[in-house]
Amino acid sequence: MDIILEENRPLESPPFADAPDRTIALSGDLDLAVREELQKRFDEAGLAAHYVTLDLTDVNYMDSSAIGAMILLHRRLREKDGELRFRLRKNGAYRLLEIAGLIAVFPVEIVED
């Protein structure tokens, strides 16, 4: 798994005008073998930002441990009125999140191939 963390300019959301957005670009396989590192990065982003975008366009596979880490990040962000967003291709990661019911819950940007 590769992780790239980007800090973006704040959104136009007035309460968090000074809080940076974060984009976490992930690639490869997100499974139990990388859950600890994934959770560490999600915890850091959840503390530092109010809006986090998970870029999963280069994710080949993910299991329930990755989804669990995403839900924990969502809860941390919601505690401070933040938001978790996804950037996806319509591939395996998209289908798994759709089956889990998360596509209907979170803002999603679909990237065309």
- Residue 12 has a pLDDT of 43
Could you tell me where the beta strands, DSSP code E, fall in the chain?
Answer: 2-8, 21-30, 51-62, 83-88, 108-110
> How many domains would you assign to the chain?
1
- Residue 6 has a pLDDT of 52
At residue 81, the 3 state secondary structure works out as coil
CATH number at residue 79: 3.30.750.24
- Residue 92 has a pLDDT of 79
The whole model's pTM is what? 0.81
Domain that holds residue 25: 2-110
- Residue 101 backbone class (left: φ over 0; alpha: ψ -120 to 50; beta: rest): left
Pick out the chain residues at pLDDT < 50.
5, 7, 9-17
Dihedral of CA atoms 32, 27, 99, 23 in degrees, nearest 10, equals: 110
The single residue listed with the structure tokens 């957005």 is 21
- Residue 84 has a pLDDT of 94
Burial call 69-108: b when 16+ CB within 10 Å, e when fewer: bbeebbebbeeeebbbbbbbeebebbebbeeeebbeeeeb
Distance, CA of 22 to CA of 40 (rounded, Å): 14
- Residue 16 has a pLDDT of 42
